[in-house]
């Protein structure tokens, strides 16, 4: 592995190069010449406006110039616009075994835009960029990478998206995501990562190159190569961090999400158990109270137990645990101004400031909140001790939804003095770290489980479980059931081993409510993921719940039995996640990369190497076409028919029979085929 100069010595001055390239294992990953510079720099003036977690972002580009002239001096590469100019950018190139780091060590202080071009091949595929909900294969599109609300509908041609835009600036587009990351994997078996927290944009539209843009001079461009895609994912997960094992209690069944107060939530759980539902947890996000808004039932953001809504909660949590059922709650890094914790945090100086030195208040939709300053060690310690341990873990809680990491306002003033525009993307990992450290301080790592939707580089090290965010309660292409699959596959390639979603979706607006069919199809998918968890939606009284229709409840109970039956197989996969960083849900190409027809499939997944799942994501379907990868034969789970890989197969797919296939020759075949009898 080497950095090699091409056509050296024809520029004036010692060490001048006409061209240079960086090759790892014979793969040229960076190629530069005076005619086609790989590096451009410039200046821009951005406009960013946040409204309830949604951002309007525009750039007024003032200047973009190529840097064609490069010299090698003192072990670094120096780039100039003209040979006689001062150095615009200088890089140090570090090579170590299977990776290279191009570190930016000097730059003209006027530069605040950097573009890097990496050579592409016509048939190359690219994946990653965090958790992408609309497209697994990134080729042919550009992806702004900025943590935000993903938007409602996420498709500008639909009524729901249009209504969301005109009523709340919240429509979104295909690239909006809670969890972006400036990292991609290539079918050429390499990873490219830009180390920066600034706004970035990865553009895969040109057939000859991938262009990576950053709105600041980045710290580095990192490149890693491997002999195969599973090995590459293993190296990527080691680079960004790996999660602890999922708690074994999760395997016992579904986590039921109910939020109508203690008497209702506990009684509904008991009715589900009587109906045969396998239950691992009861999740009551309304443990701190409810606030009714025009959006629907919201939570009261004062993170302490509300005895009026959940009487005798510590005792009831202990009783549940004795039965093998855990209790979970909800928390965010914001405190409502009309709660009891807000004045306490304000008096201690734990809240972010505005430009005038007052407390910054964020409008969350008919209520305002202060921002817990996660750049302050004192504030983080208070959150861990006062809220996460004192108000939650010490009550016996086994986990929580860890929400809203993507809302840091870009004009807030923070304790560490760093521009909030550079801290915005960094905020989700900071929030995850506070939660992970609180769990670790309590000695509960691998036992207590929190889950997040917001993310950025480094979240992997701290967050034990992702959830897919707020899908619409429908089958829509860019915001429905299928996006939860795509989100799991894209994020899993970057080291996020465990992923799940709200069964039945969450967002219900403009008359869009979920059907019994949607709820059942979503449960069918969830039975083959890391965690099963229900949600009542933002409008629980308008939407069907799993316990409100006998047919839905019976179907859901069976899906929880399927989930529980798979526990021994999932434990094998959890061990792989801990040891190798491989995700539980895997793109088909991860084990069949020689079959290039698998490289763009995003509506089916492998649960480990041996179970292929193709969830039905269209209303009214009674049959379903599935591509079976070449290189294996597959047994259709429900009929027992053996089908050859390498071609599409059409199978019956009525409710209760989602398309699932067992790889012939699997060492787990007896367990997996036992699903047929449930």
Query: Do 127 and 137 meet the contact criterion of CB atoms below 8 Å apart?
Result: yes
Query: Catalytic pick from 406, 536, 547, 593?
Result: 406
Question: Three-state SS for 22?
Answer: strand
Say which DSSP state 425 is in.
T
* In 158-226, alpha helices (H): 159-168
Query: Do 252 and 533 meet the contact criterion of CB atoms below 8 Å apart?
Result: no
At CA 284, angle to CA 540 and CA 394, rounded to 5?
165
- CA-to-CA separations, 646 to 136, 560, 594, 628, 649, in angstroms, rounded: 21, 32, 11, 6, 9
Query: Does the annotation mark 354 as catalytic?
Result: no
Query: Do 432 and 449 meet the contact criterion of CB atoms below 8 Å apart?
Result: no
Report d(CA 436, CA 307) in Å as an integer. Answer: 27
Report residue 671: phi and psi, to 5°: -65, -50
- Complete edge-to-edge strand list for the sheet that includes strand 326-331: 254-257, 279-283, 326-331, 399-402, 449-451
One-letter-per-residue 3-state SS of 427-495: HHHHHHHHHHHHHHHCCCECCEEEEECCCCCCHHHHCCCEECCCCECCCCCCCCHHHHHHHHHHHHCCC
Query: Do 215 and 200 meet the contact criterion of CB atoms below 8 Å apart?
Result: yes
Query: Catalytic pick from 137, 286, 470, 479?
Result: 470
Residue 651, C-beta contacts closer than 8 angstroms, at least 6 positions apart: 623, 624, 626, 636, 638, 639, 659
Continuous segment of H or E residues that includes residue 213: strand 209-214
Going by C-alpha positions, the residue among 593, 603, 600 that lies closest to residue 625 is: 603
Query: Do 129 and 196 meet the contact criterion of CB atoms below 8 Å apart?
Result: no
Query: Does the annotation mark 406 as catalytic?
Result: yes
Instruction: Supply 301's token pair.
Output: 């953001």
Query: Catalytic pick from 403, 479, 536, 576?
Result: 403
Instruction: Supply 442's token pair.
Output: 């309590």
Distance of alpha carbon 333 from its chain centroid, rounded? 18
Distance of alpha carbon 80 from its chain centroid, rounded? 38
Query: Does the annotation mark 18 as catalytic?
Result: no
Query: Do 2 and 29 meet the contact criterion of CB atoms below 8 Å apart?
Result: no
Active site residues: 403, 406, 470
């Amino acid at each position: 592995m080497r950095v090699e100069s091409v056509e050296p010595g024809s520029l004036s001055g010692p060490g001048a190069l006409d061209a240079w390239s960086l090759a790892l294992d014979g793969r040229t990953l960076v190629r530069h010449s005076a005619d086609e510079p790989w590096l451009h720099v410039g200046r821009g003036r951005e406009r960013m406006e946040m409204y309830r977690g949604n951002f309007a972002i525009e750039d007024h580009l003032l200047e973009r110039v190529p840097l064609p002239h490069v010299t090698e001096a003192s072990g670094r590469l120096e780039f100039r616009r003209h040979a006689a100019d001062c150095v615009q950018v200088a890089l140090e190139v570090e090579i170590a075994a299977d990776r290279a780091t191009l570190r930016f060590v000097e730059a003209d202080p006027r530069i605040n835009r950097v573009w890097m071009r990496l050579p592409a091949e016509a048939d190359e595929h690219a994946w990653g960029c965090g958790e992408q909900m609309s497209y697994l294969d990134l080729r042919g599109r550009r992806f702004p990478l900025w943590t935000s609300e993903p938007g409602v509908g996420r498709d500008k041609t639909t009524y729901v998206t249009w209504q969301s835009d005109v009523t709340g600036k919240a429509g979104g587009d295909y690239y909006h995501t809670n969890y972006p990351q400036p990292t991609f994997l290539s079918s050429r078996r390499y990873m490219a990562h830009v180390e920066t927290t600034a706004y970035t944009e990865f553009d895969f539209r040109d057939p000859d190159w991938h262009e990576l843009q950053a709105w600041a001079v980045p710290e580095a461009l990192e490149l890693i190569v491997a002999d195969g895609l599973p090995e590459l994912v293993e190296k990527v997960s080691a680079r960004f961090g790996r999660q602890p094992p999922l708690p074994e209690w999760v395997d016992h069944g579904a986590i039921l999400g109910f939020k109508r107060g203690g008497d209702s939530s506990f009684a509904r759980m008991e009715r589900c158990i009587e109906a045969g539902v396998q239950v691992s947890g009861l999740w009551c996000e309304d443990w701190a109270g409810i606030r009714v808004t025009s959006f629907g039932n919201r939570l009261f953001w004062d993170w302490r137990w509300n005895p009026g809504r959940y009487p005798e909660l510590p005792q009831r949590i202990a009783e549940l645990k004795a039965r093998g059922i855990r209790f979970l709650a909800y928390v965010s890094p914001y405190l409502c101004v009309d709660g009891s914790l807000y004045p306490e945090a304000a008096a201690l100086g734990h809240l972010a400031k505005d430009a005038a030195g007052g407390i910054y208040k964020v409008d969350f939709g008919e209520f305002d909140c202060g921002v817990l300053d996660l750049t302050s060690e004192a504030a983080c310690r208070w959150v861990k001790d006062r809220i996460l341990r004192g108000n939650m873990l010490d009550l016996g809680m086994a986990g929580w939804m860890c929400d809203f990491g993507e809302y840091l306002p870009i004009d807030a003033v923070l304790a560490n003095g760093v521009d909030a525009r550079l801290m915005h993307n960094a905020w989700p990992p900071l929030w995850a770290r506070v939660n992970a450290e609180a769990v670790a301080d309590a000695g509960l790592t691998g036992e207590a489980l929190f889950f997040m939707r917001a993310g950025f580089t480094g979240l992997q090290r701290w967050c034990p479980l992702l959830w897919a965010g707020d899908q619409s309660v429908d089958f829509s292409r860019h915001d429905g059931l299928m996006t939860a699959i795509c989100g799991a596959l894209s994020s899993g390639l970057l080291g996020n081993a465990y992923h799940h979603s709200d069964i039945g979706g969450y967002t219900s607006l403009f008359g869009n409510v979920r059907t019994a069919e949607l709820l059942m199809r979503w449960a069918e998918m969830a039975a083959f993921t890391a965690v099963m968890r229900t949600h009542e939606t933002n409008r629980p009284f308008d939407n069907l719940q799993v316990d409100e229709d006998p047919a839905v409840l019976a179907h859901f109970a069976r899906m929880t039995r399927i989930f529980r039956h798979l526990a021994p197989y999932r434990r094998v996969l959890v061990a792989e996640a801990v040891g190798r960083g491989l995700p539980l849900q895997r793109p088909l190409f991860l084990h069949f990369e020689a079959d290039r027809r698998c490289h763009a499939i995003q509506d089916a997944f492998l649960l480990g190497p041996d179970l292929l799942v193709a969830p039905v994501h269209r209303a009214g379907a009674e049959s379903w076409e599935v591509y079976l990868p070449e290189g294996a034969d597959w047994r259709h789970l429900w009929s027992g028919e053996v089908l050859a890989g390498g071609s599409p197969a059409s199978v019956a797919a009525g409710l209760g029979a989602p398309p699932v296939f067992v790889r012939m020759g699997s060492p787990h075949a007896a367990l997996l085929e036992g699903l047929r009898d449930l």
